[in-house]
Amino acid sequence: MTKNKALSGACRGNSNAIGTSIMESPERWTWISRLERQRQAAAKYPRHQHWMRAHSHQHAYREIMIVLKGCGPLGVGGCVYRAAPGTVFLFDKGEEHDFGYSSEHTDSRHLWLHFISPHRITANEAATRNGRLLADKSATRFMPLQGPFVECLTEYWNACADGDCSPLALARLKAVATLVLLQAWLGRTNAIDNGSVSEHGKSVVAQIRDYIAGHLNEDLSLRNLAHMAGYEAVYFDRLFHKYTSESLRRHINRLRLERAGKLLDQGRTAKATAEQLGFGSSAYFCRFFKTATGLTPSAWANTRRHRA
């Protein structure tokens, strides 16, 4: 039996762990983050090393994930770690990590926290089967978290990220992160009736809209936003359309176009506007703007100046 098969067998043996028992024993959690001076040794999953080259992403918000059930490999910063029940991952801003789950994952349940602002966190429970994310998350809902614990968590994480990685600072960060994870877990409710499910979906879409409005210069791909919301991409796109009457892409383009018009009115160049709104190049921005308005950015600015 190979080492990877042995690890897989051990994972299946633990896959019956109940999330409640994990959340009731925070003293047994294993923490993995780049803030740690001595991190848990990386596991050897050769197939996952190859898989994650095409299945990694990074974004401008922080995340925390704790494994509730099942286990498997999880790539962070180019290394692969064994994610077993009770393992907590802290993903900092811009830190590359897996997007999705490889076939080496057993049936799993993960609790995710997404820092959509310094004062607010969204939470969701991701369920996987045979490495595939299950689309139906309506059985459980997590309302957005805010309050002193969230603000303290942001403050302590900022301090550690700025260089204060002393044992005391890390212990303080972990203590508050534990409280926020428990707050999310204890605050979840079973959404059995359709009304609760609808309210949850509406609330999640509202939170994502707020995030989009404040982060137009970042990666606002469907897969990233669906991941933050805790839904499978196609399902979330339909949910977004249901509560906004426009597709996610149309909504983002409309906001970027409105912001671009205001920036050009303020005298910004097409290049500066493109950079501020997250376009890959000024040429692409100019094509986008002309397609939407019929005018180039410079022609738009000239027309507005003459009218003024």
Res 46: pLDDT: 87
Tokens encoding 112: 């995710």
The closest alpha carbon to 81, from 44, 50, 106, belongs to: 44
Helices of type H across the chain:
3-14, 19-23, 46-51, 148-161, 167-186, 194-214, 222-229, 233-244, 248-265, 270-276, 282-293, 297-307
How confident is the model over 240-290, as pLDDT tens digits? Answer: 999 999 999 999 999 999 999 999 988 889 999 998 888 878 899 999 999
**pLDDT at residue 249, rounded to an integer:** 93
Structure tokens at 29: 């959690």
293 token code pair: 């308005």
pLDDT at residue 221, rounded to an integer = 87
Closest CA relative to residue 127, chosen from 111, 114, 115: 111
Tell me which residue of 242, 10, 203 sits closest to 106, measured CA to CA. Answer: 10
Q: Which domains does the chain have, with CATH numbers?
A: 3-245 (no CATH), 251-307 (1.10.10.60)
Sign of CA dihedral 34, 55, 60, 153: negative
The segments of the chain whose pLDDT lies below 70 read 1-18, 135-141, 189-198, 200, 305-308
What's the confidence (pLDDT) of residue 140? Answer: 62
Burial class of residue 79 (count of CB atoms within 10 Å of its CB; 0-12, 13-18, 19+): middle
Rounded to two decimals, the pTM is 0.76
Rg (CA), the chain: 22
